[in-house]
A and B are shown apart, each in its own frame.
Chain A
Amino acid sequence: MNFRRWKMGSPETIKRQALKDFAEFISPMKVRTMRSAGIDIIEEKRSGACSWDITGKRFIDCQTGSGIMNVGRHNPEIVAALKQALDTYDIGIFLLCSKQKADLAKRLAEITPGDLTCSIFGVGGGEAVDAAIKIARGFTMKTGIIYADKAYHGHTGFALSAIGRAAYKESFEPLMPGFTMVPFGDADAIRKAVNKDTAAVILETIQGEGGINIPPEGYLAEVRKICDENEVLLILDEIQTGFGRTGKMFACEHWGVTPDIMTVAKSLSGGIYPISATIFKEEINDFFIPHPFVHLSTFGGSDLGCIVGLAAIEYIIKNNLPGNAEKMGQRFRAGFDRLLKDYPDLLLEVRQKGLMMGLQYTNESIGPRMTKKLSDRGVLAVYTGNDPSICRLMPPLVITPEEVDEVLAALEDSMKELSGEKGIGKND
């Protein structure tokens, strides 16, 4: 199909054909699931906190690919940075040293907490986690990895082995050996699981896919202590929580804990060009001195990706997006409190840190049903993969007070409608 032909026909016709082709050539079940949930959207225009379906329907994006779009959709400053870079650069040759890579690594060292100073780059979050686990094993010369129940770290080799959801893993077993799962939030469980073969503990600072699980007070500090006492590395996955999402540049800063290795991705891309990074302490870099070519990525940390990553970081800092996440998070919270009071048969609990927000509904059917009702009202918000009773809300950090109010109004209207239907409440 050439581009001119693609652009012919009414928006509805183009949409129908796109969904038909997607079903035929990619995934029929994905189309069916999206259609059932009312989110068979073919995105066209994107701007700020919003995107528009090809038919012209506007959505406030509270899904954002689980946190890719902190700087907003199709941010013009990031687009301009990429366009300008394209006048001179291409991806670059991964084997060579690169100014762009060096600039981004230096900036990451400046903005990450504590003494995280060295980076290696990848394309996506799974690759960053794979690298983190490889580094942990290589540096410590130990093999054991402790990870959390309901954890989500990506679908690649080492990362998949550290996912706390059997459904993602069981079709592909046997996976990597040496992985031990513990409950999230239970430091004693980690203490019991650590042994002389343990290389690292890997945790999401806040679990995203698992249902926006905020760590209990003192948990991360205790885990840090256990790791230090046992010469075990602490890996924190900030792929969803990083770059201002929770009201701080990185979520671990809320608890004053610095990991030995941190993984970032999603919003480092500015929503424009894929890039991820594994950032670690200088002493760990000693592992790479005798092994400088032991971990390579053809497209990871491409010159274009690094330029975009730097532009995204500068935009986040210049516009104080962590501050806006905190402020808009508070505005959301006030609305959620009203909903908790008015709809106890639907809404059980709110889990929130800044603009990383989860609504715990009373049963598992409500997540998909709310997704559809919210979509009907122009809000894209989808339940989490691990638990459909939890709706994840992660809007762009550039969201305005008016847009927050619009999302809250859509939530209230949807809940009002749902409360008149069958199958709500805890025991249904």
Chain B
Amino acid sequence: MATSQEILNALADYQVNCNENKRLRRMQRDWTKLLHFNAEETGDWFTMNVINGEIVSFSTGAEGTPDIIVTTISENLCDMFWGDLNPSQKYLQGEIRVKATQEDVVRLDAITMIIWPDA
């Protein structure tokens, strides 16, 4: 089980990885979304705010009305933000659940492909 602080640390790394990737920023510049992440076994929630492809903030708690909700166990959240797992595979196994439009599900996978091509 990952602690809330560990997930925040992973999110901080993810923010740097995404924001410093020029190719990703160019690809995602038309993407503005509010994301919620739910660590199902701990009940922790996290909010990420993406504006024009830039992760401008993240925090604990479920703030605002999300466009996307990602639910999984805390370890998966950490591994996902650190690029240690393939989210598509987990999604297809039902271990990661995503409430979002089909386009946003593809966008999430595209982000992973760009920042961790081997995940």
A contact set with B: CB distance below 8 Å: 28-29, 32-33, 36-38, 167, 171, 364-365, 368-369, 372, 385-388, 418, 421-424, 428
Binary CB contact string for chain B from 30 to 46 against chain A (1 if under 8 A, 0 otherwise): 10000000000000000
CB atoms of A388 and B102 under 8 A apart: yes
Residues of B with C-beta under 8 A to A387: 102
Binds A, one of B11-19, B47-55, B57-65, B85-93: B85-93
Measured in the bound complex, the distance between the Cα atoms of B119 and A238 in whole Å is: 42
CB atoms of A369 and B109 under 8 A apart: no
CB atoms of B102 and A385 under 8 A apart: yes
Q: Shortest beta-carbon distance, B86 to chain A, in Å?
A: 8
CB atoms of A368 and B92 under 8 A apart: yes
Total A-B pairs, Cβ < 8 A: 50
Quick one: which of B69-107 are within 8 Å of A by CB?
88-89, 91-95, 97-99, 101-103, 105-106
CB atoms of A365 and B95 under 8 A apart: no
CB atoms of A36 and B89 under 8 A apart: yes
CB atoms of B102 and A365 under 8 A apart: no
Query: Quick one: which of B93, B98, B106 contacts A29, CB cutoff 8 A?
Result: B106
Interface residue? B1 (CB, 8 A): no
19 further A-B pairs in the complex, CB-CB below 8 A; given A32-B113, A167-B102, A423-B97: A28-B113, A29-B109, A29-B113, A36-B89, A36-B91, A36-B109, A37-B92, A167-B101, A171-B30, A364-B99, A365-B91, A365-B94, A368-B92, A369-B92, A369-B94, A372-B92, A422-B94, A423-B94, A423-B95
Residues of B with C-beta under 8 A to A369: 92-94
- A167 to B, closest residue via Cβ: B103
Measured in the bound complex, the distance between the Cα atoms of B91 and A364 in whole Å is: 11
- B104 to A, closest residue via Cβ: A167
Query: Quick one: which of A38, A372, A428 contacts B97, CB cutoff 8 A?
Result: A428
CB atoms of B92 and A424 under 8 A apart: no
Q: Which applies to chain B's interface (DSSP): helix, strand, loop or mixed?
A: helix
Residues of A with C-beta under 8 A to B95: 422-423
Interface residue? B115 (CB, 8 A): no
Q: Shortest beta-carbon distance, A283 to chain B, in Å?
A: 42
Query: Quick one: which of B30, B94, B97, B109 contacts A33, CB cutoff 8 A?
Result: B109
Residues of B with C-beta under 8 A to A33: 106, 109
Residues of B with C-beta under 8 A to A428: 97
Measured in the bound complex, the distance between the Cα atoms of B105 and A37 in whole Å is: 13
A32 and B103 in contact (CB under 8 A), knowing A365-B97, A422-B95, A423-B94? no
Measured in the bound complex, the distance between the Cα atoms of B98 and A225 in whole Å is: 44
Residues of A with C-beta under 8 A to B98: 365
Measured in the bound complex, the distance between the Cα atoms of B100 and A388 in whole Å is: 11
Interface residue? B110 (CB, 8 A): yes
Q: Shortest beta-carbon distance, A125 to chain B, in Å?
A: 21
Residues of B with C-beta under 8 A to A38: 92
- A35 to B, closest residue via Cβ: B88
- B96 to A, closest residue via Cβ: A423
A-B contact pairs, 26 of them (CB 8 A): A28-B113, A29-B106, A29-B109, A29-B110, A36-B89, A36-B91, A37-B92, A167-B101, A171-B30, A364-B102, A365-B91, A365-B94, A365-B98, A368-B91, A368-B92, A369-B92, A369-B93, A386-B102, A387-B102, A388-B102, A418-B94, A421-B93, A421-B94, A422-B94, A422-B97, A423-B97
A32 and B88 in contact (CB under 8 A), knowing A385-B102, A388-B102? yes
- A170 to B, closest residue via Cβ: B30
Measured in the bound complex, the distance between the Cα atoms of B105 and A385 in whole Å is: 12
Measured in the bound complex, the distance between the Cα atoms of B24 and A29 in whole Å is: 13
Residues of B with C-beta under 8 A to A28: 113
Measured in the bound complex, the distance between the Cα atoms of B103 and A368 in whole Å is: 13
Measured in the bound complex, the distance between the Cα atoms of B51 and A42 in whole Å is: 38
Measured in the bound complex, the distance between the Cα atoms of B95 and A33 in whole Å is: 18
Measured in the bound complex, the distance between the Cα atoms of B98 and A385 in whole Å is: 17
Residues of B with C-beta under 8 A to A37: 92
Q: Shortest beta-carbon distance, A346 to chain B, in Å?
A: 12
Q: Shortest beta-carbon distance, B29 to chain A, in Å?
A: 11
Residues of A with C-beta under 8 A to B106: 29, 33
Measured in the bound complex, the distance between the Cα atoms of B95 and A423 in whole Å is: 7
Q: Shortest beta-carbon distance, A405 to chain B, in Å?
A: 26
Residues of A with C-beta under 8 A to B93: 369, 421-422
Measured in the bound complex, the distance between the Cα atoms of B102 and A32 in whole Å is: 15
Residues of B with C-beta under 8 A to A365: 91, 94, 97-98
